[in-house]
Amino acid sequence: TGTDVAVLLSGGVDSSVALRRLLDAGHAVTPYYLKIWLADELAHLGSACPWEEDIAAAGAVAGQAGLRLTTLPLQAEYWERVVATTVAEARAGRTPNPDVLCNGRIKFGAFYEADQTYFLAHLTQAQLAKAAFPIGALTKPAVRAAAAAYGLPNSGRPDSQGICFLGKVKFDAFLAHHLGTRAGPLVEYETGSRLGTHRGYWFYTPGQRRGLGLSGGPWHVVAKDVDANAVYVSRAYRDVAGVGVAFTFGGA
């Protein structure tokens, strides 16, 4: 017997295939589109947010499966009140026992070239116990093949390289506008040696390897000391970070 599952549909193939795999597994699925930001709030930064295209694609996928898509604003109290028991989205692997908290782990997805598990770094064990990642074991070519096999209306839609609510605005420009910049040290995790300078810890996420400006890599962010505004990096990310979620110092 299945469970009630809330699926966040972005309009892309990853979440769409996740939805269909959950339906195949017998779950009672409710699809949601999460509208994270209002386009007019970013107009002065040159944003051209494609959320209308995204929600149309998500609605087409939901409709094909005989489901009704619901649009939600990003308001925690509303989200907690409305969304069903389990949130299912793409990419990461998962190995929790649903009866025991404090043993859930986020693992690398099968398609390491586009791994995004670092976005999940601050999920609590209670949240992990209610999360599922139906396509974590699939590579992106396998996801594309599954989308074609399902006949999904968005099966040929290009991958998004950004965050949909930012449109054409670069993520760093968005952060700089709202949070400013503050120089701090880039530190090698294993040795404590200072390797360079960054613009502020909030520009970096554990697992990130883009934009570090260091030679001899690839380097990955493995930890942040929020109080000291220090960012720790390593060339041995898989060895140092393990599951890629445990390395945060000095607060959130």
Active site residue ranges: 102, 164
Burial class (CB in 10 A: 0-12, 13-18, 19+), 97: exposed
DSSP 121-134: TT--HHHHTTEE-T
SS3 93: strand
CB 187 within 8 A of CB 201: no
Q: Strand pairing of 93-94 and 106-107?
A: antiparallel
- Start-to-end C-alpha separation, the chain: 38
Q: What are the φ/ψ torsions at residue 13 (nearest 5 degrees)? A: -75, -30
Burial 118-150 (b: 16+ CB within 10 A, else e): bbbbebeeeebbbbbbbbbebebeebbebbeeb
Judge whether 249 and 229 are in contact, CB under 8 Å.
Answer: no
